[in-house]
Amino acid sequence: MKFFAIGDGHKRVSLPDRYETEITPDGTSIFWAPENDGDIPIRVSVLTIESKDKNENEAAFWAVIHKANREKNEPTVVDDKAIFQQREFLKEENEVNYFYEIGMGNCLIVVSVSVEEKIEQSADFQKVRDEVDAMIATIEQREDDHPFICELPGSDFDEIAEAVEELLPTGLKDSSWDSLQKHYDESLQNQNLQLAGKVGLTFGEMIKKDIPGFNWYLTIDDWGCARSLNFEESGISIFPENMIIKRVDDDHAIDLKEFASDTIETVEEILRTQ
């Protein structure tokens, strides 16, 4: 199973490994299975309900209960979640929309899945519906001091690949350090944090080339969200993009190749002691 961040990242869901994700400009998370050609996407949005009562911490939970009662539809309550589900037929689009509202504390999670009416009874769609039900049960809120490690959206991988192509057009090679160093020095001289971010992503890819056990993830913790390289199941994470941006922002001259070597040495030392 894979973990995926939703909303502001401090909530997550899990779905089978076959799923991939993307995030729209309005913050909606879209999940799809490439084997279905993306024809049955799952859309998830997260809203916060502000209550007049500042002490109210279950506003969304009760909002879903009351809506279900108004619709004369029995809500489902599972642990700390109230769930209301309905089916809509969209005549103009000739589509069927399965719509779920999940109240969890003061957060309203909206899930929708739409398909053409003619494939509503197909095995593929029934499988997706079952996976949506299972996904809803996995929704969880991040607790303080407990980081979430989630899958990166596809656009993030595109951004990493574009950074490498722009800064190192001949590819990731042992001889590429000199070229990457020049880009770092330029970002330092001009205090160009955008360029520093690209250097950081490429720096991460250079480390990943030398230690294939590293993979990119999204790490969410008390400090916010950041792209990280995580080493297998060891619990070891490094943050190449942030590492480089911070040093440029601090006006700190470094030797990238030496910095990478020190980072790898530290990782290997930790692995030896585990």
Tens digit of pLDDT per residue, the chain (274 long)?
A: 999 999 988 999 999 999 999 999 999 999 999 876 668 999 999 998 877 777 778 999 999 999 988 988 888 998 899 999 999 988 777 899 999 999 999 999 999 999 998 889 999 899 999 999 999 999 999 999 999 999 999 999 999 999 999 999 999 999 999 999 999 999 999 999 999 999 999 999 999 999 889 999 999 999 899 999 999 888 899 999 999 999 999 999 999 999 999 999 999 888 888 7
- Parse the chain into domains and list their residue ranges: 2-141, 149-273
Class of domain 2-141: alpha beta
DSSP structure string for 27-55 = S-EEEE-GGGTT-S-EEEEEEEPPPSSTT
CATH of segment(s) 149-273: 1.20.120.1090
φ, ψ dihedrals at 229, nearest 5°: -105, 120
DSSP structure string for 201-212 = HHHHHHHHHH-T
Q: Give Dmax (Cα) for the chain.
A: 68
